[in-house]
Structure 1
Amino acid sequence: MRRLIVILLALAAFGGAVVAWFHLGSGASQLDARTAMARSAAALKAHDATSARDFAAAAVREEPSLATAHLALARAMLALGDGVGAEAEIQRALDSGADPKLLPHLRAHALLLQGQAQKAVDEAGKASSPFRAYALRIRGRALAAGGNWQAADNAFDEAVKLAPGDPDIWSDRGRFRLATGDMLGANEAAQRVLQLDPNHLDGLVLRAELVRSQYGLVAALPWFEAALKRDSRSLVALVEYAATLGEAGRTVDALAATRRVLAVQPNSPQALYLQSVIAARAGNPALAQALLAKTGTAIDTLPGTLLLKGALDLQSGEYEQAITKLKALLDQQPLNMPAHKLLAAAMLRRGSAEAATSLLRPVTALSGADSYALLLAARGLERSGDRDGAASLIDRSLAPTAPGTRAFTVDDSLETLSAQADQRPGDPAAQVALLRGLYTAGDNAHALANAQRIAAANQSVPSAQLLLGDALMLAGRPNDALTTYRRAAGLRFDAPTMSRLVEALGAAGKNQEAVNVLGLFLSQNPMNLTALRLSARSQLRAGEYAAAMNTLEQVRSQIGDGDAVLNAELALAYAGAGATNEAQELGEAAYALAPANPLVVEAFGWVLYQAGDLAHAAELTRKALRLAPDAPDLRWQLAQIYADAGDKSQASALIQALLTDRRFTRRAEAAALLPRLR
């Protein structure tokens, strides 16, 4: 009986709990349609579009024939970038009795999100007066998507005049300015958005992207985090946040962010792509391939996807597939130099030597072309039977990289390029092509005049300022170039701008400022290879060998052991820190990779000198001098080796010659050594 009573009481308690749970659950999840719509509108106003969609969907479920519920769901879907879903809801609203005059601006937005730019323009033109500003905003975006920049600019201007207090218009205008390279205009628009609405989600994401370009990766992270506080499930904010974390070297955090994306959108192609990049960087190409395969065809045409897939195909021996993808990338970005080199490598391995050589011609025409591109082109010439041409390129690849013009050569004549520039005065591509042609022809004065004109007409466009800075550097005017590079850095402080600014500061004798600029950039972009290598060289010059070792090891962790100059620099750093055995191994590895590169030979000779092997150190340093006979630092190195080896006459002769060389910067040390040689 006692057992029966206990069981009955338990069942009664359970039944009461079930009833209570049912009533509580229905009150929480089964809102009436009007309440759900009100909450959707409030969430949308608070920039939580994901919650707005959920509430609007609840209203539609509650009253499927309510037109306003379908419109609420359409607006939330538009905010989330779901053009297909939004258009379907707009049609359902129309079928449920919505006034057709209320819909064209929304339908135009949905069409734009589906990539139907011209249809969006046409539909936006049907919008009635109360929705004119919204429609103009969509028209501007659609025209920009079609490449009609001037008409897009006019549409945004008109929209701002009609609704100057609409933050959505300012946000889209800011993105338009960013797309045209007008960083100042983009920043002004982003600031205006946040003045009007400090919680504006798109405005916060735009500001984060601008801060990332202007100040660096680390500085942008708080802005992305602020956006995610408004809507923790915003795909746009999450994807950009994950990408920024990955570029900043915070791999664990980046993976966590991609998992947040996948929780919101299972099989998100953007999240899978980012995970694939992380896997590729970690040296796991099989995992990278598997992750990319899961993206299907959703992002196949994006430049980053094409480059990654092309590189992975090349690595796995799928040369035809690599060629197809890399050609598609170069159709979009003709000046993408990594793509040029990967495509040339794929063509060489397939046996198309002449095509590979032709493809690399714009790269190898640079006076400062990298050794990898030169060796690829040399291999192509050699297979085509041009051994003399191949030998010339090999010689260049073994020489130290010299500073030179950053302009690429072009196939068109100067007359053709000038005519195109005259016909299209507002087209930056035509103007830049003319500048390249002038640089190639050696007409630096004319190139400088054109660069000055372009920079004056585009004060807020960083690339225009860089063109002028490059022209001034070529003209031997580093102080004038500094002013221009600083202006560009104030607009967009990326790696190309930073490296130019550091170079100009060094040429102007402002070495400490160059160190400060480099340190600032690295604090924001800690994994950037260009900055790491520049920093390591600065540390080596300053005798900070432990710091240089750490910096160079970070570089090696990213690019591996196949870079001869990197191995030589590591050898110098280890030798300076007293790790003699490791230094000799690295110096030998560098020498095995590039035995005719004077920088490598010099470094190996110095490492052996530090280890006490004076005979071999002298032999290698003499070889380096034969390869680079006009290098005063090499003669100073050889003088020190001779002095320690007891060959006072040769050491004294070298030092006396060095003291008459204006380029030699270590005169005090040399003068102090000379008396001891008498």
Structure 2
Amino acid sequence: MRDLLAPKSLLRLATAIASSLGAAALLAFAVTTPARADADAARLSLAKSLAMLKTGNISAARNHAQAAIKEDPNWGLAHAVLARAFLSLGDGLGAEGELDRAKAAGFDPKRAQQLYAHAYLLQGDAKRALSTAATVPPRFAGYAVRVGARALAAQGDLPGAQRALANLLSVDPGNSAAWSDLGRVRFDGGDVGGAIEAAVKATALDPANIEALTLRGELVRGQYGLIAALPWFEAALARDAYYHPALIEYASTLGDAGRYGDMLDATRRALAARPGSAQAYYLQAVLAARAGNDDLARTLLQRTGDALNGLPGALLLGGMLDYEAGGYEQAINKWRELVGRQPMNITARRLLGAALLRSGDAQGALDVLRPVAARFDADSYTLTLVARAFERTGERDWAGKFLDRAAFPARDASLPFGTDDSLAVLGGLANDNPDDPVRRVVFLRGLADAGDYGAALAQAQALTRTSPGAPAAWLATGDMLMVMKRYDEASAAYRHAADIRFDEPTMLRTVDALDHAGHRAEAANALALFLSQNPQNIAGQRLAAHWQIAAGEFDAAIETLENLRQRVGNGDAALLTELAYAYIGDGDETTGMTYAKAAYTLAPLNPATTDAYGWALYQSGDNKGAVQLLEKAVSIAPEHAMLRWHLGQAYADFGRGSDARAQIDAALSDPTFTDREAAAALLKTLV
């Protein structure tokens, strides 16, 4: 114990963490004897703080530094160490205050410039952070470079930030903090593959780097899924149970995985770590909204104040709560801002279009929804909104066209999202900064919208060569190949993207391409892998249920679909249709009829709902009613083989052999038709 209290022992502890604390600034005061009588207690507390910083327990380091200051308020070193803890916890204001106190107590300000620069950066003043970092003495240059790089990134100069960090790492390759900074900058710039590489190196060099552990969790969440990410956040929290950034990411991941109780516990810990945390209140508001408690969600969201202004998730949730409460103008304002920030956010455009239409601004709704409705894979809801908007403007011919599309929207491969800028403008923006993959992707989207798929594909493929770690480049390449019906090549491109980030859009693209290429087993494996990591994902569950029905696994399909219905309600015609098919396939015609009728009531012009209702009537023995509906379904979608197969069976039972043969022949002519054996057997019995 006596050795631990001695100045030399404290000196050794300070030296051990010199790279992260600014060693010379601390060592200059490590041998200074505190003036108070309880100097030994202050020394012990500060020694513990330094030890905790080294092991990654920043919250404990802060507490011990505060204890040292309480025991000796005039010890400059203790204030400097507390400032360093505050910086690691993201508290720039607290850090600046402690640095000022350290300076007032005699701490050399020249040895704290890098810490001041970091504090300014955390307060959002990137310009001041850069100018301050430029005054840092050479002995602290590594820290200053890191702060400067993060300031450049905050100003939007991601390539410059990466170059600065790469230069630092070329002379100091063992700098774990610099690797984690580089990983964050690469992640923000869309180079997910490069971010993964940097984060792996950061955690390997220093397993106590909780910032790197948290980043690793975020990257694993995108690369492999929710469940795989949890251990990384837990590893960070095992070192510091109250590390706020890890708690927020952990809570968000738990919620998406359906572990709502654990999510709530994590948000409460985040509030304990940072009282008034806007992020924690936002996550609690999301949790309340999911539980249907809009009043509580609204109250919690209000507690965030202005801290989350502009955050896409908060704008989306706030608009939904306003809309539910009848505050349509407030909802419109929030969703308009969201669309302005994320013009490719289809969900936001749908919501804004619906709100504008309800408020009487039909033309505004058309302007917002037009880019979505122009897609080949536009959903029925959006197309119906557009049709209603055209009705309001008196353009009934256009309204009729979009209602026809809404009844059975084509599910072709989608073109990239449209843009209002000209190709010349987009090309100029891309050429101004060729290292920016985002601008290159926008340019190739413009080429695709103009119909120049070959040039768009060439741009996308070039982007995969210059930015191989950017999933957007591989997705763009796959999208172009899908439009060109080169499915095997598209699935290969999507697999490259999935190796970097396996999220819902990547999964859906990968599964679709593999299925189109005839690799259903591989597609099923990809879907199963995604759902194993993202068990609450609605799109994945829908697709799984559809395939379960196709495979005759009706019990499993019913379980999947009923769970979905509990979550999305009874207003989804497609979901009710699938439930009808599943129950009928399972031999429960009564329940199947109930769902089929409900689906048909919601969407009487949709061929799938019409066919389901007709098929339910056929199974119940009402051949006449069945034939009428099945004929209607085929007239809407004559190219759909399964609809013709159902109608053929009804014709056969109704004694219309020649008509049945014609329908079955048409079904068999489609190479994608799967029920070929049964169709061929029935065909042999027809005369």
TM-score normalised by the shorter chain: which range applies?
over 0.9
Q: Which residue of 2 aligns with 1:234?
A: 243
The superposition leaves residues 526-553 of structure 1 with CA deviations (integer Å, 9 ceiling, x where unpaired) of 0111111111111111011111111112
Q: Which residue of 2 aligns with 1:578?
A: 587
Distance in 1 (alpha carbons) for counterparts of 2:477 and 2:455: 12
* Alignment check: 8 A CA contact 1:435 1:451 kept: yes
Distance 1:472 1:542, change over 3 A: same
The superposition leaves residues 86-138 of structure 1 with CA deviations (integer Å, 9 ceiling, x where unpaired) of 00001111111111211110001111111111111111111111110011011
SS at match of 1:173: helix
* Alignment check: 8 A CA contact 2:441 2:472 kept: no
Query: Which piece of structure 1 moves more, 650-659 or 256-265?
Result: 650-659
SS at match of 1:417: helix
The superposition leaves residues 417-447 of structure 1 with CA deviations (integer Å, 9 ceiling, x where unpaired) of 3344344433334322322222222221221
* Alignment check: 8 A CA contact 2:603 2:609 kept: yes
Q: Which residue of 1 aligns with 2:113?
A: 104
Query: Which piece of structure 1 moves more, 642-651 or 58-67?
Result: 642-651
Distance 1:164 1:428, change over 3 A: closer
Give 1:201's match in structure 2, choosing from 179, 194, 210.
Answer: 210
Query: Which piece of structure 1 moves more, 419-428 or 615-624?
Result: 419-428
User: What amino acid is the match of 2:333?
Assistant: T
* Alignment check: 8 A CA contact 2:415 2:448 kept: no
Give 2:304's match in structure 1, choosing from 295, 299, 302.
Answer: 295
Q: Check if 1:83 corresponds to 2:104.
A: no
Q: Which residue of 1 aligns with 2:651?
A: 642
Q: Check if 1:522 corresponds to 2:534.
A: no
User: How big is the shift at 1:190?
Assistant: 1.3
Distance in 2 (alpha carbons) for counterparts of 1:283 and 1:249: 15
Any unmatched runs of 5+ in structure 1?
1-28
User: What amino acid is the match of 2:304?
Assistant: T
Q: Which residue of 2 aligns with 1:589?
A: 598
Give 2:184's match in structure 1, choosing from 162, 175, 187.
Answer: 175
Q: Which residue of 1 aligns with 2:346?
A: 337
User: What amino acid is the match of 2:224?
Assistant: Y
Percent identical: 50
User: How big is the shift at 1:35?
Assistant: 1.1
The superposition leaves residues 445-473 of structure 1 with CA deviations (integer Å, 9 ceiling, x where unpaired) of 22111211122211111110100011111
Q: Check if 1:554 corresponds to 2:563.
A: yes
Distance in 1 (alpha carbons) for counterparts of 2:666 and 2:43: 92
User: What amino acid is the match of 1:498?
Assistant: M
Distance in 2 (alpha carbons) for counterparts of 1:266 and 1:423: 44
Q: How does 1:313-332 map to 2 (within 5 A)?
A: 313-332=322-341
Q: Which residue of 1 aligns with 2:628?
A: 619
The superposition leaves residues 277-312 of structure 1 with CA deviations (integer Å, 9 ceiling, x where unpaired) of 111112221121111112222223211111110111
Q: Which residue of 1 aligns with 2:26?
A: none
Distance 1:283 1:34, change over 3 A: same
Q: Which residue of 1 aligns with 2:136?
A: 127
* Alignment check: 8 A CA contact 2:573 2:603 kept: yes
SS at match of 1:64: coil
User: How big is the shift at 1:65?
Assistant: 1.3
User: What amino acid is the match of 1:106?
Assistant: L
The superposition leaves residues 307-364 of structure 1 with CA deviations (integer Å, 9 ceiling, x where unpaired) of 1101111121112211222222233222222111212222222222111110111111
Query: Which piece of structure 1 moves more, 150-159 or 237-246?
Result: 150-159
SS at match of 1:32: helix
Give 1:41's match in structure 2, choosing from 44, 47, 50.
Answer: 50
Q: Which residue of 2 aligns with 1:72?
A: 81
Q: Which residue of 2 aligns with 1:442?
A: 451
SS at match of 1:409: coil
User: What amino acid is the match of 1:476?
Assistant: K
Give 1:491's match in structure 2, choosing from 500, 511, 519.
Answer: 500
Q: Which residue of 2 aligns with 1:18?
A: none
Distance in 1 (alpha carbons) for counterparts of 2:112 and 2:432: 41
Distance in 1 (alpha carbons) for counterparts of 2:105 and 2:237: 35
* Alignment check: 8 A CA contact 1:30 1:58 kept: no
User: What amino acid is the match of 1:277?
Assistant: V
Q: Which residue of 2 aligns with 1:405?
A: 414
SS at match of 2:281: helix
TM (norm. structure 1) is 0.93
User: What amino acid is the match of 1:511?
Assistant: R
Q: Check if 1:259 corresponds to 2:257.
A: no
* Alignment check: 8 A CA contact 1:618 1:638 kept: yes
User: What amino acid is the match of 1:47?
Assistant: G
User: What amino acid is the match of 1:567?
Assistant: L
The superposition leaves residues 581-633 of structure 1 with CA deviations (integer Å, 9 ceiling, x where unpaired) of 22111111110111001111112111222222222111110000111122222
User: How big is the shift at 1:646?
Assistant: 3.2
* Alignment check: 8 A CA contact 1:134 1:159 kept: no
User: How big is the shift at 1:409?
Assistant: 2.0
Give 2:161's match in structure 1, choosing from 152, 157, 163.
Answer: 152
Q: Check if 1:476 corresponds to 2:472.
A: no
* Alignment check: 8 A CA contact 2:437 2:470 kept: no
User: How big is the shift at 1:499?
Assistant: 0.6
Q: Which residue of 2 aligns with 1:5?
A: none
Distance 1:59 1:540, change over 3 A: same
* Alignment check: 8 A CA contact 1:400 1:598 kept: no
Q: Which residue of 1 aligns with 2:25?
A: none
Distance in 1 (alpha carbons) for counterparts of 2:215 and 2:344: 26
Query: Which piece of structure 1 moves more, 549-558 or 54-63?
Result: 549-558
User: How big is the shift at 1:161?
Assistant: 2.8
Q: Check if 1:280 corresponds to 2:289.
A: yes
Distance in 1 (alpha carbons) for counterparts of 2:164 and 2:667: 67
* Alignment check: 8 A CA contact 2:441 2:473 kept: no
User: How big is the shift at 1:662?
Assistant: 4.7
Distance in 2 (alpha carbons) for counterparts of 1:319 and 1:93: 52
User: What amino acid is the match of 2:212?
Assistant: G
Distance 1:608 1:309, change over 3 A: same
Any unmatched runs of 5+ in structure 2?
1-37
Distance in 2 (alpha carbons) for counterparts of 1:30 and 1:226: 35
Distance 1:63 1:241, change over 3 A: same
Q: Which residue of 1 aligns with 2:522?
A: 513
User: What amino acid is the match of 2:281?
Assistant: L
Q: Which residue of 1 aligns with 2:63?
A: 54
Q: Check if 1:269 corresponds to 2:284.
A: no
User: What amino acid is the match of 1:542?
Assistant: A
* Alignment check: 8 A CA contact 1:405 1:439 kept: no
User: How big is the shift at 1:31?
Assistant: 7.0
User: What amino acid is the match of 1:581?
Assistant: T
Distance 1:74 1:194, change over 3 A: same
Q: Which residue of 2 aligns with 1:427?
A: 436
Distance 1:568 1:260, change over 3 A: same
TM (norm. structure 2) is 0.92
The superposition leaves residues 235-257 of structure 1 with CA deviations (integer Å, 9 ceiling, x where unpaired) of 11111111100000111111122
Distance 1:174 1:425, change over 3 A: closer
* Alignment check: 8 A CA contact 1:136 1:158 kept: no
Q: Which residue of 2 aligns with 1:391?
A: 400
User: What amino acid is the match of 1:543?
Assistant: G
User: How big is the shift at 1:201?
Assistant: 1.2
The superposition leaves residues 553-575 of structure 1 with CA deviations (integer Å, 9 ceiling, x where unpaired) of 22222221111111111111111
Distance in 2 (alpha carbons) for counterparts of 1:175 and 1:185: 10
Alignment coverage as a number of residue pairs? 650
Q: Which residue of 1 aligns with 2:13?
A: none
Give 1:214's match in structure 2, choosing from 216, 223, 244.
Answer: 223
User: What amino acid is the match of 1:648?
Assistant: G
